[in-house]
Amino acid sequence: MSELVLETNKLHKVYDGSSATTVEVFKGINFRLARGEVYYILGHSGVGKSTFLHLLGGLDTPTSGDVLFDGKSLSSMNESQLAHFRNKNIGFVFQFYHLLPELTLLENVMLPLMISNESNAEEKAIEWIERVGLKERIQHLPSQLSGGEQQRTTIARALVHSPQVVLCDEPTGNLDETNAKIVYDLIESLNQEEGVTFCIVTHEESFVKSKPNVYRLTSGNLQKES
């Protein structure tokens, strides 16, 4: 059996409010991600897709149950260990890009390396910008890039520090069909060439048809479709 990189163990998440606003988002999810695979999780709006990715990436904590990375429990880590875990191992790609508007494309991609004080930040960032096909746009600000170019920039930023897992939250939710296909093809080729594990949540069914490792989130549970 292939090596596991991330695993959830009886994952429960309840957003506690008054009795009228309490939401039980997950009812004990057991999910395993093998290293080097691409996973797609489908589910309609409000079903808990973003929450699930936040839990996998240590941005949020479960009500009970646990997330394990390389067999190590995230709930055993303190804040600074968690921050270190995220910086080293996880890349995030969001629907609305989350690029810093006053920084150029190059500076945005360099940022994770600057934060962790890595050497050759500019060189490494340029390599990744070339990989996503944006070398000609290196000095552009996010406002001077198309939606598809901004999302390719966030993919370069997510991969620049060589994470083990990249978590994508509706990465094509804001793109037209042509650009959405470019982004999905880019993710698949980066997976094949770099062996990075991807977990992508989306409500777009059309791109996901015929892929292996498709799951569906419904009523607090995760079920395998293919």
Pairwise CA distance, residues 33 & 199, whole Å: 8
Choices 1-9, 26-34, 41-49, 91-99 (CB under 6 A): range interacting with ligand ADP: 41-49
Q: Which does 78 bind (CB under 5 to 8 A by kind): Mg ion, ligand ADP, none?
A: none
Pairwise CA distance, residues 41 & 128, whole Å: 26
Choices 27-35, 42-50, 86-94, 138-146 (CB under 6 A): range interacting with ligand ADP: 42-50
Residue 45 within binding range of ligand ADP, rule CB under 6 A: yes
Residue 11 within binding range of ligand ADP, rule CB under 6 A: no
Choices 40-48, 123-131, 147-155, 172-180 (CB under 6 A): range interacting with ligand ADP: 40-48
Q: Which does 220 bind (CB under 5 to 8 A by kind): Mg ion, ligand ADP, none?
A: none
Pairwise CA distance, residues 205 & 202, whole Å: 8
Exactly one of 5, 13, 25, 50 binds Mg ion (CB under 5 A); that residue is: 50
Residue 23 within binding range of ligand ADP, rule CB under 6 A: yes
Residues 79-108 that bind Mg ion (CB under 5 A): none
DSSP, res 3: P
DSSP secondary structure letters along 132-173: TT-GGGTT--GGGS-HHHHHHHHHHHHHTT--SEEEEESTTT
Residue 18 within binding range of ligand ADP, rule CB under 6 A: no
CB of 69: closest distance to Mg ion in angstroms? 22
Q: Nearer Cβ to ligand ADP, position 149 or 170? A: 170
Cα distances (angstroms) measured from residue 103 to each of 61, 131, 133, 147: 31, 20, 19, 16
Residue 108 within binding range of ligand ADP, rule CB under 6 A: no
Q: In this structure, are residues 206 and 175 in contact, taking their beta carbons and an 8 Å threshold?
A: no
Choices 46-54, 89-97, 139-147, 178-186 (CB under 6 A): range interacting with ligand ADP: 46-54
Residue 35 contacts by C-beta under 8 Å, 6 or more apart in sequence?
2, 3, 4, 5, 164, 195, 197
